[in-house]
Amino acid sequence: MVATTRADLLAACLLEEASWRDLNALRYLERVCFPKDVWPLWDLIGVLTLPNVVRIKAVADGQMVGFIAGDIRQADGMSYIATIGVLPEYRGRGIGAALLQACEKRLPTLTIRLNVRTTNNVAIQLYLTYGYQKAGLWRKYYQDGEDALIMEKKR
Ligand SMILES: CC(C)(COP(=O)(O)OP(=O)(O)OC[C@H]1O[C@@H](n2cnc3c(N)ncnc32)[C@H](O)[C@@H]1OP(=O)(O)O)[C@@H](O)C(=O)NCCC(=O)NCCS
């Protein structure tokens, strides 16, 4: 059967625990999703291997098409969404929202934080839709000088 509706397309995508075996796929996804903010290789290895990180991949058509990592910082009393990305050709079918909700479910803290480029309206809209509120601004946080909007969800 060929998936056509948004629900069909989402159902054709599986959410699975990611591991170090996904390093190459994650390198590709991060390069495509974050051309201005490419993580060093060591950070990618860390996000796939360190303890206290929730790492979930979305798999469709036999490949990783989305990824999210949530960093649990019990000492700070909060968790951080460290990264979330979906390959462009798989966007707009609910994969980003599904990844965010699956990750949140596994984060033990009541507060979740993240930062996002102030011009990234699509991501900001995603976070607003799922209960995050604007909580601050870090001036010139990104390498090219753009500000970071801090968003926070309390549950
Ligand atoms: C942000 C991102 C992960 C969203 O992934 P996605 O799979 O397209 O998102 P979904 O289809 O689940 O959409 C979830 C919500 O995001 C918002 N959204 C998604 N696409 C949007 C668009 N083109 N315009 C406005 N809002 C949009 C909506 O609120 C949407 O909810 P709705 O479908 O109920 O309207 C994806 O665009 C991406 O990978 N962007 C590049 C990387 C990035 O910027 N990551 C965030 C860094 S902080």
* Centroid of chain to Cα 50: 16
Residue 72: its pLDDT value, please? Answer: 98
What is the average per-residue pLDDT within 54-65?
Answer: 97
Token pair recorded at residue 84: 């979330």
User: Confidence band (pLDDT; 50, 70, 90) for 8?
Assistant: confident
pLDDT value at 3 more than 70: no
The angle formed by the CA atoms of residues 119, 121 and 122, to the nearest 5 degrees, is 135
Ligand 1 centre to CA of 42 (Å) is 27
Mean per-residue pLDDT of the chain: 96
Pick the residue whose CA is nearest to atom 33 on ligand 1.
Answer: 94
- pLDDT tens for each residue of 129-140: 999 999 999 999
CA distance 3 to 17: 24
| 6 band by pLDDT with thresholds 50, 70 and 90 | confident
Q: Which of 57, 91, 146, 147 to mutate to test the pocket of ligand 1 (most atoms within 8 A of CB)?
A: 91
| Range 6-154 classified under CATH 3.40.50.410 | no
Quickly list DSSP for 5-31: SHHHHHHT-EEEE--GGGHHHHHHHHH
Residue 78 φ then ψ, to 5°: -155, 165
| pLDDT score, position 11 | 86
Cα(6) to centroid of ligand 1, in Å? 14
Contact 85, 67 (CB under 8 A): yes
Q: Ligand 1 centroid to 66 CA: how many Å?
A: 11
- Tens-place pLDDT, residues 86-100: 999 999 999 999 999
Please report, in angstroms and rounded to a whole number, the separation of the first and last CA atoms in the chain.
Answer: 39
Could you tell me the CA-to-CA distances from 143 to 4, 37, 51, 121 in Å, in that order? 40, 8, 28, 19
Mean pLDDT of 144-155: 97
Give yes or no for residue 151 having a pLDDT over 60.
yes
Nearest CA to ligand 1 atom 12: 94
